[in-house]
Structure 1
Amino acid sequence: MRALVNGSNGPEIIEATTPKPGANQVLVKVHACSLNRADLLMLKGATHGFQSAQANQPMGMEWAGEVVELGAGVKQWKVGDRVMSAGMGAFAEYTLGFEWVMYPIPEGMTYTEATTLPVAIQTMHDALATNGQLKEGQSVLIQGASTAVGLMGMQVAKQLGAGLVIGTSTNDERCARLTEFGADLALNSRDTGWVQAVLDATDGKGVDLVIDHVAGDVINDTMRATRVAGRIVNIGRLAGESGHFDFDLHNMKRLTYIGASFRTRNPIEIVQVIQAAKASLGKAIASKALQVPVDTAFAFDDFKQALERMDRNQHFGKIVLQLG
């Protein structure tokens, strides 16, 4: 099979051995796979949980395709099922899917559309429902809402019964599109008055819950936009992995600040996250109520252009590689 790997001179497509499904695994013919920022980080030497850009090992962590072979003990799936999942070895003509962590692709949804969903759905459900303990009617701020997971976060918040949903972006054009994906109020976080706008929209209190994809030095303004005894769940650090943190502000507002990385979770914890997302959002997934826009779909052979587009941060939604 053809697979995109991190070769001696960077990413390249090679001929690799098609994997065989083990117990509780299925072999999937991949029709589309999507890029995540973690893919770029791994190319630069970082690890992502159990994954790294190892030489001659297929890269990628999100795919959509068709089940073509069952391993021992598989009960939930059959050959021919259309499935999507987050999983290792996504950038290849064939990959292995674990029985408990795949989602059925809704009828009428393309593989290109489907590959954009798994990571965003399970990340945002875990952030909002499990770590954020969102209650019906509460207000939510998605800080960095024009990312793919941010766009999903606003939609999931609405599905979970959130009241006011606020999204931020640093780009006016992207900010203008946030209402298409669930934002009741869209703000440019580079504007000096954005925190006051959040306070004005929440009767001076601040939001109940923040899902933060930004962190860095923006964290203090994020805390100012959060109500007393509110909660902040950190997912990303697009503005920096470190920065000035106002401990007195954090203390006086009695904020709960939660880290929610998947990289330090064991396989059982990952399965629990995905099963919780499927149970809570299964109907919304099936009805295609949750979506992430496809920014650009590239042919598999054009992977360099896809990686370059992601590295330039020019995209809105997901960048997809199509394998036919």
Structure 2
Amino acid sequence: MDVSGFYPAAEADGYGYGAVFQGLKAAWRDGDDIYAEVALPEGVDPSGFALHPALMDAALHATSLNDVEHADGSGPLLPFSWAGVTLHAQGATALRVHIRPAGQDTVALDLTDRSGAPVATVSSLALRAVSADGLAGGAAGETFHSALFRSEWRAVSLPEAVRVEPWALVGRDAIGRLAGISSDTSDASYATYASFDELTHSVPPYVFVALPERKPEAADLAVLVHDALQETLRLVRAWLAEDRFAGSRLVLVTRGAVSGEPGERISALAQSPVWGLVRSAQAENPDRLVLVDIDDVPASLGALPAALATGEPELVVRGGEARVRRLLKVTDEQALVPPREGPWRMDVSASGTLENLCLVPAPDAAEPLREGEVRVQVRAAGLNFRDVVTALGMVIVDEIMGGEAAGVVAEVGPGVTDLAVGDRVVGLFTGSFGPLAVTHRDYLAPMPAGWTFAEAAAVPVVYVTALFGLVDLAATAPGQRVLVHAGAGGVGIAAIQLARYFGAEVFATASPGKWDTLRALGLDEDHIANSRDLLFEEKFMKVTGGEGMDVVLNSLAREFVDASLRLLPRGGHFLEMGKTDKRDPDEVAAQHPGVAYAAYNLPDFDRGRSQEMLVEIVELFERGVLKPSPVVAWDVRRGAEAFRFMSQARQVGKIVLTVP
């Protein structure tokens, strides 16, 4: 067979191979069998690989020499799924390849060296068709991601009546409530054992192991992950090694190890890799292992027997609802597509709906820098409520979305002498939802060592906003009372920490599901109220003996604003950060004597003050006065999900968009 035109033809069809991967040298056909010779280019060192990937890939190129297309004509066949792979020798720089049919769209391969000595065998390689047009994004308006799938947790209907089988718990009940697994229609029993060795009699259908929760400091995470994986590997091997367990299923229970819905924070990060390890074991041992991640809601424990009855290998149980992992097509809404060339950023094609979010060219991000400007390669950008209301058309502003970011200096303009290319920086921007953004040097600060880009991107807007309001506008003093609405949000968490640092007595509101965040910030029950009803007014007036507040940091609207203004009976400062219900300061002063009303946002202060505040905030973090806010991150190409999540006020802390 003539293979001289193989790679040019492949590139014309949309399959481009680099020079190292163009290893097919000769080929022969004998009926349906293909024989080929492949080799690495001169100078390519195979050491470090059992079998060099470019050599193995070249061996597979010969599978297309029969010019076979899928039965439906959808395109050439490409490697999809492997079985029975055995390596016999290492260090090969050239191979002789024998490819023979092994079923429908399936081949087997024998790989030898030039002397005929075995190098590797593959008993079965399934082939599947992939459209070159679909990958390249050219045919009939298709885009690359139209050929991709994503994983999502989907709710599953549970049977109403389930017989709860007897079960066993091995080890300590790290979840603390597994003993409560029961059913109103069952008298199921359970027993506890220190180890699998004690399961000497009949083994129940389900054996539970609750993996211990580990909440490490950053420095301990790697050690705890290693320990968790070793412990789980030991358990799984011990379970699979015993034939007497073959009729039962081992249920490994975690809490907070996976995100069961978009935006849900992972609280047990050290347990998360355990899920990947066990999924591999499940693939090799079907129906022997079950993964369950459960929350603290009692109804979730009650739903566990019915959830296990579904036979699903992976389950997330939240609020009594069971969810299972499913593969779904990636749609335009879920994966925004960047332009093919040049810098880009997120924008809206038309305001009014989040479906209009798109990634558009940003030529200004590449223009020559002016005096004092810095160009930054953005790694992560903070999402703020202002961005959401701008996208929805609820406010009319001239600014481009994306007001803060963290990244690496790519270029410095004239007059910038204290930053260099490669420096890690964090600060304020305009148009940071893309890979490149430009800002003035005064809006940047060096990024503290040990911070991730996502953590850094969550800081500038919320902490500068809170600091400017509490210091520049309200001159908050020790002993004053400060009310922070939406205290579990980004600005709220920042304001609570700063106000307490200034010596103020802090009160805060949030939806009840977020009160643990407020408690973790040092607030007791007398200083916490619901942001979803107006009872906070009565409660806080009672707690303060009718004196109310000195400062209110507001982000609520309508009657909640009126109730908050009444919490300033002695006068004080009302700082409005919301964008949808601004009041006239003179009218407020007339109706509420002594109240100074100020609606403000980031453009209200100059560059010099911005620099001072950024430096002060970073210093407070480095001194340990301030702690990072909780962060939830989305890839910017899935920005619509992040915007929607924020618009529903579901986040705790800060939402960040990471940039590829």
> TM-score if structure 1 supplies the norm length?
0.84
Q: Is 1:168 matched with 2:527?
A: no
Q: Is 1:43 matched with 2:391?
A: yes
Residues 233-248 of structure 1 mapped to structure 2, 5 A cutoff: 233-236=575-578, 240-241=581-582
Which residue of structure 2 aligns with residue 293 of structure 1?
630
Q: Quickly say closer, same or farther: Cα 1:15–1:51, change in 2 above 3 A.
A: closer
Deviations 1:122-143 (A, max 9, x none): 1111110110110122221112
Deviations 1:83-126 (A, max 9, x none): 11121120111111211111222111100111111001111111
Q: Distance in 1 between matches of 2:618 and 2:380?
A: 21
Q: Quickly say closer, same or farther: Cα 1:107–1:71, change in 2 above 3 A.
A: same
Q: Distance in 1 between matches of 2:379 and 2:615?
A: 26
More deviation, 24-33/151-160: 151-160
Q: CA deviation at 1:193?
A: 4.0
Which residue of structure 1 aligns with residue 207 of structure 2?
none
| Amino acid aligned to 1:304 | A
SS at match of 1:51: coil
More deviation, 219-228/103-112: 219-228
For the 8 Å contact 2:571–2:592, the answer to whether it is kept is no
Residues 196-215 of structure 1 mapped to structure 2, 5 A cutoff: 196-215=538-557
Q: Distance in 2 between matches of 1:308 and 1:200?
A: 37
Q: Is 1:28 matched with 2:376?
A: yes
Q: Quickly say closer, same or farther: Cα 1:257–1:7, change in 2 above 3 A.
A: closer
Q: Is 1:180 matched with 2:520?
A: yes
Which residue of structure 2 aligns with residue 56 of structure 1?
none
Q: Is 1:222 matched with 2:559?
A: no
Q: Distance in 2 between matches of 1:27 and 1:237?
A: 30
Q: Distance in 2 between matches of 1:249 and 1:5?
A: 40
Which residue of structure 1 aligns with residue 597 of structure 2?
257
Q: Distance in 2 between matches of 1:206 and 1:242?
A: 21
Q: Distance in 2 between matches of 1:246 and 1:261?
A: 19
Q: Quickly say closer, same or farther: Cα 1:68–1:137, change in 2 above 3 A.
A: same
For the 8 Å contact 1:106–1:287, the answer to whether it is kept is no
SS at match of 2:359: strand
Deviations 1:51-84 (A, max 9, x none): 04xxxxxx42221101121111002322222111
Which residue of structure 1 aligns with residue 357 of structure 2?
11
Query: For 2:606, which of 270, 278, 281 is the aligned residue?
Result: 270
**Unpaired segments ≥5 residues, structure 1:** 53-58
| Amino acid aligned to 1:321 | L
Q: Quickly say closer, same or farther: Cα 1:12–1:225, change in 2 above 3 A.
A: same
Q: Distance in 1 between matches of 2:410 and 2:534?
A: 54
For the 8 Å contact 1:4–1:14, the answer to whether it is kept is yes
Which residue of structure 1 aligns with residue 414 of structure 2?
72
Query: For 2:495, which of 114, 135, 153 is the aligned residue?
Result: 153
Deviations 1:165-199 (A, max 9, x none): 11012x11113321223535211144554223223
Q: Quickly say closer, same or farther: Cα 1:190–1:27, change in 2 above 3 A.
A: closer
SS at match of 1:284: helix
Which residue of structure 2 aligns with residue 105 of structure 1?
447
Q: Quickly say closer, same or farther: Cα 1:12–1:215, change in 2 above 3 A.
A: closer
SS at match of 1:96: strand
For the 8 Å contact 1:158–1:182, the answer to whether it is kept is no
| Amino acid aligned to 2:386 | A
Which residue of structure 1 aligns with residue 573 of structure 2?
231
Q: Distance in 2 between matches of 1:2 and 1:223?
A: 43
For the 8 Å contact 1:166–1:183, the answer to whether it is kept is yes
Q: Quickly say closer, same or farther: Cα 1:69–1:304, change in 2 above 3 A.
A: same
Which residue of structure 1 aligns with residue 299 of structure 2?
none
- Larger radius of gyration between Structure 1 and Structure 2: 2
For the 8 Å contact 1:89–1:95, the answer to whether it is kept is yes
Q: Distance in 2 between matches of 1:193 and 1:11?
A: 37
> How many residues are paired up?
306
Q: CA deviation at 1:247?
A: 7.1
For the 8 Å contact 2:444–2:614, the answer to whether it is kept is no
For the 8 Å contact 2:403–2:431, the answer to whether it is kept is yes
Q: Distance in 2 between matches of 1:204 and 1:110?
A: 45
More deviation, 24-33/139-148: 139-148
CA-atom RMSD in angstroms: 2.6
Q: Is 1:302 matched with 2:643?
A: no
Q: Distance in 1 between matches of 2:392 and 2:535?
A: 37
| Amino acid aligned to 1:133 | A
Q: CA deviation at 1:15?
A: 4.8
Residues 119-130 of structure 1 mapped to structure 2, 5 A cutoff: 119-130=461-472
Q: Distance in 2 between matches of 1:312 and 1:193?
A: 22
Which residue of structure 2 aligns with residue 117 of structure 1?
459
> TM-score if structure 2 supplies the norm length?
0.43
SS at match of 2:545: coil
Q: Quickly say closer, same or farther: Cα 1:218–1:32, change in 2 above 3 A.
A: same
Q: Distance in 2 between matches of 1:42 and 1:192?
A: 28
SS at match of 2:606: helix
SS at match of 2:571: strand
| Amino acid aligned to 2:359 | I
Q: Distance in 2 between matches of 1:273 and 1:181?
A: 27
SS at match of 2:598: strand
Q: Distance in 2 between matches of 1:144 and 1:176?
A: 13
Q: Distance in 2 between matches of 1:127 and 1:211?
A: 8
**Unpaired segments ≥5 residues, structure 2:** 1-342
Larger RCO (alpha carbons 8 Å, 6+ apart): 1
Q: CA deviation at 1:220?
A: 2.8
Q: Quickly say closer, same or farther: Cα 1:190–1:51, change in 2 above 3 A.
A: closer
